[in-house]
Amino acid sequence: MTEEAILQGCVKQNAIAQRELYNQYSPQMMSVCYRYAQNREDAEDMLQEGFIKVFSQIHTFENRGSFEGWIRRIIVHTCINTLKKNKHFNDTVNSFYAINIPIREESISSILQAKQVVECIRMLPIGYKTVLNLYALEGFSHFEIGQMLEIKESTSRSQYSRAKIMLENILINKNIIQKPTQQKQLVATSG
């Protein structure tokens, strides 16, 4: 089935088209859910709830932008709403550790695609992980993240900065990346 045929079938609530849509997009969307979830079962629940929303809202898709992008946006919002509903987003890192995280502007974006790095991202506290996913991987602005999560834009920015530092420390501890040299650290912290 073509994407257009799947879309039209889903608008008409055709079970075959719905199954085809799910089979075509669920693997990519499962990986999105898994980035936000605490475990595989939670990710599967988010995925199912997300696709229920996709099927109930499919008549609102206006062929502006990609269909996959439209589905992804619904799935991301479903994940965020699930976290907020279950109050997982309020889980925070030990405040002593959070206060003592040095803020640096080094980017880790060049290594975000490695499987090991994704697993390390999953080790972050849920708030840090959520902001990192939304900003670095989904491309939302800190303003948009603040609105979604009902936090201040500045909170999103600080959580993102702290998430990068915590992720870097996890990657160093797991020997996935090397600790920056002393000279590099001085330049990063003085800028």
pLDDT score of 105: 41
Tokens of 60: 């609102």
What is the predicted pLDDT for the residue at 6? Answer: 92
Exposure string (b/e) for 90-118, b if CB count within 10 Å is 16 or more? eeebeeeebeebeebeeebeeeeeeeebe
pLDDT at 102: 40
What is the distance of C-alpha 40 from the center of its chain? Answer: 15
Q: What fold, for 3-86?
A: Rna Polymerase Sigma Factor; Chain: A (1.10.1740)
**What string of pLDDT tens digits covers the 191 residues of the chain?**
888 899 999 999 999 999 999 999 999 999 999 888 888 899 999 999 999 999 999 999 988 889 999 999 999 999 999 988 876 554 444 333 333 334 344 444 444 445 677 788 888 998 899 999 999 888 999 999 999 988 999 999 999 999 999 998 988 888 777 877 755 555 555 44
Rounded Cα distance between 26 and 54, Å, is 11
Alpha helices in 37-152 (DSSP H): 40-57, 67-85, 95-99, 115-121, 126-132, 142-149
Q: Which fold has domain 89-178?
A: Arc Repressor Mutant, subunit A (1.10.10)
Helix 153-173 with 142-149: angle, nearest 10 deg? 100
- Sorted by where each begins, the domain ranges of the chain are 3-86, 89-178
